[in-house]
Chains A and B, each alone.
Chain A
Amino acid sequence: MTRLSVLKTYKIYIGGQFPRTESGRYYSPLDAAGKPLANVCLSSRKDLRNAVVAARKAFGGWSERAAFNRGQILYRIAEMLEGRRSQFVEELMLQGAIEKAANQEVDLSIDRLVYYSGWTDKYQQIFSAVNPVASSHFNFSVLEPMGVVGVVAPQNSSLIGLVSTIIPIVAGGNTVVVLASEKLPLCAVTFAEVLQTSDVPGGIINILTGTEKELIEQFGSHMDINAVLYAGDTAENYKTLQVLAADSVKRIVKFKLNPSDETAENPYLIQDFQEVKTTWHPIENIGGSSSNY
């Protein structure tokens, strides 16, 4: 007797759980041959709202965590991804990649996670400063995470695009709500399973699937999203984001690198979603002493 294979339900990831979309709608992305790959959630604006609520709730704990511990957790994601590499390779191939390219993409994703896990307790030293001032103050500037960051992941990449955009943001202590690639969403959902089995607390990374067209306005106008990284390729959507962001004065950043490029990683991508806090700390007059800051 032939066995009916059990197909996986691709659900969204909000607050560490896998709910179905609130709207109950689905869409079927196609493979290269035009065959439906799977049924994937078509997220609505209410799903986005729920994800933002979860991200906001998780922000306090995540940003206050020791930087070193954030690094450990990101490293743990890399470990878990390594353990499930065959599944990712398989999904990448389902979505049209050849085996060699698929393997390379998974390798690069793991390496990129390790790369940013190393930066969590180092970017602060690079970008912070002690500022020379004329008064009796010790004046210093440090980076602080912005809060909840929305991400529109690259359309033409399933895994590496997702990792390259969201990981620097969470490495810097932000929480994210990411809209995965519409055409290539499978790895995003499987990546959520990796996150859940790593030590990543729920709500730090929330993953939605669906269309840019439907959600872009909500990403722009939602008052509780502090910044958005746009890695899509529709100029019109980018413009919509910028216009709607005016109301909440949120920062809009465009992701300009090619994520599949080995060099598409640097600490400036962490800095993109940091605010600078400058502190004037009164001290005794140190004029005349040898240190002249």
Chain B
Amino acid sequence: MSTKQKDIQIPDFRFTPTIDKVGVEERVARIQTRSIKGESKIQGMKMVLNMIDLTTLEGKDTPGKVKQMCYKAQHLHEAYPDCPTVAAVCVYPSMVKIAKEALGNSNVKVASVSTAFPSGQAPREVKIMDTKFAVEQGADEIDMVISRGKFLSGEYNFVFDEIAAIKEACGKARLKVILETGELVTLDNVRKASEIAMYAGADFIKTSTGKIQPAATMQVTYVMLMAIKDYFNKTGIMIGMKPAGGISTSKLALHNLLMVKETLGENWLDNHWFRFGASSLANDVLMQLMKSKTGVYQSGDYFSLD
């Protein structure tokens, strides 16, 4: 367990607060009726770009694909002046070295999934080795998955210990804990898993692997943001949030930002504390930015392939 947490009283996870599902849905629906226009939309979209973890997590990934993506991470769209870079690229451990080399000394970080992503069905030693390998290869951030099977059968201590062990293996790398909310069934479970992850040492909590539907719904993200808020109020420690999977339009991304601002405040509106895990979101945002600049609706034909 990291030093910052040694004084914190760990609660009994059987008694985490339950979630008012109807209330969450209403709150989210209200946020989604908001319309963000003009200059604030442009600022918001640039912020979105800067918060993206450009992701490729496929069995068919090749060094070429990863290099191409790393180039894109640094040069999103040459035709748009002052375009920010994305926050990080997210790859499998075997691709970390390639990504690290391709990114050179740019500010773009390399995140690596680990712990037998995406299922997490492997012994703990394997998961720790997986994590250590990724860190040795140069990963700045580790995206681990929790053992959903253990969680659902009530073995919260197992899940907690596992996260703590991986946190230790991470060393200096920041740890994002993927809850895979699509498999957790209820919002109550999402809240519980969020708390377990935060108390066990997560630097970030993340909704999904992107391999399971539904992924990052607004409802789930809202519940996790509220968990972060409560944790912050209790301990004074800021935890990051990363919705991943299913956020492919700039409108949805802006609504997410709005939700972050209204639940956690402006301190979280920074890519150190908030990220989008996405592959096709960047192009949609770029197309919107170009639309604002030229006044003409854009075509995917003129933007780089994901």
Is B300's beta carbon under 8 Å from chain A? yes
Q: Can you show 24 pairs from A to B with CB atoms below 8 A apart?
A: A45-B297, A49-B297, A52-B297, A56-B300, A218-B297, A221-B295, A221-B296, A221-B297, A222-B296, A222-B297, A222-B299, A223-B296, A223-B297, A223-B298, A223-B299, A223-B301, A223-B302, A224-B297, A224-B298, A224-B299, A224-B300, A224-B301, A247-B296, A248-B299
Which residues does chain A contribute within 8 Å of B301, judged by CB atoms? 223-224
Q: How far is the CB of B139 from chain A (nearest CB, A)?
A: 35
- Taken residue by residue from 218 to 238, chain A's Cβ proximity to chain B (1 for < 8 Å, 0 otherwise) reads as 100111100000000000000
Q: What secondary structure prevails in chain B residues at the interface with A?
A: loop
Give the docked Cα–Cα distance between A247 and B297 (Å).
Answer: 12
Give the docked Cα–Cα distance between A221 and B294 (Å).
Answer: 10
The 10 closest A-B pairs by CB, nearest first: A224-B299, A223-B299, A222-B297, A221-B296, A223-B298, A49-B297, A223-B296, A223-B297, A224-B297, A223-B302
Give the docked Cα–Cα distance between A49 and B298 (Å).
Answer: 10
The interface size bin for chain B is: under 10
**Which of A56, A218, A222, A224 counts the most B-chain CB atoms under 10 A from its CB?**
A224
Q: What secondary structure prevails in chain A residues at the interface with B?
A: helix
Within 8 A of A (CB), among B128-172: none
**Which of B298, B299, B302 counts the most A-chain CB atoms under 10 A from its CB?**
B299
Within 8 A of B (CB), among A30-52: 45, 49, 52
- Taken residue by residue from 194 to 227, chain A's Cβ proximity to chain B (1 for < 8 Å, 0 otherwise) reads as 0000000000000000000000001001111000
The interface size bin for chain A is: 10 to 19
Q: How far is the CB of B280 from chain A (nearest CB, A)?
A: 12
- Taken residue by residue from 288 to 306, chain B's Cβ proximity to chain A (1 for < 8 Å, 0 otherwise) reads as 0000000111111110000
Which residues does chain B contribute within 8 Å of A45, judged by CB atoms? 297
Give the docked Cα–Cα distance between A49 and B301 (Å).
Answer: 16
Which residues does chain B contribute within 8 Å of A224, judged by CB atoms? 297-301
Q: Which residue of B lies closest to A218 (CB)?
A: B297
Give the docked Cα–Cα distance between A8 and B299 (Å).
Answer: 36
Q: How far is the CB of B246 from chain A (nearest CB, A)?
A: 16
Q: How far is the CB of A237 from chain B (nearest CB, A)?
A: 18
Give the docked Cα–Cα distance between A45 and B296 (Å).
Answer: 11
Q: Which residue of B lies closest to A221 (CB)?
A: B296
Q: Which residue of A lies closest to B249 (CB)?
A: A53
Give the docked Cα–Cα distance between A45 and B299 (Å).
Answer: 15
**Which of A49, A52, A218, A223 counts the most B-chain CB atoms under 10 A from its CB?**
A223
Give the docked Cα–Cα distance between A221 and B295 (Å).
Answer: 9
Give the docked Cα–Cα distance between A248 and B300 (Å).
Answer: 12
Give the docked Cα–Cα distance between A49 and B288 (Å).
Answer: 12
Which residues does chain B contribute within 8 Å of A218, judged by CB atoms? 297
Give the docked Cα–Cα distance between A126 and B300 (Å).
Answer: 32
Give the docked Cα–Cα distance between A224 and B290 (Å).
Answer: 13
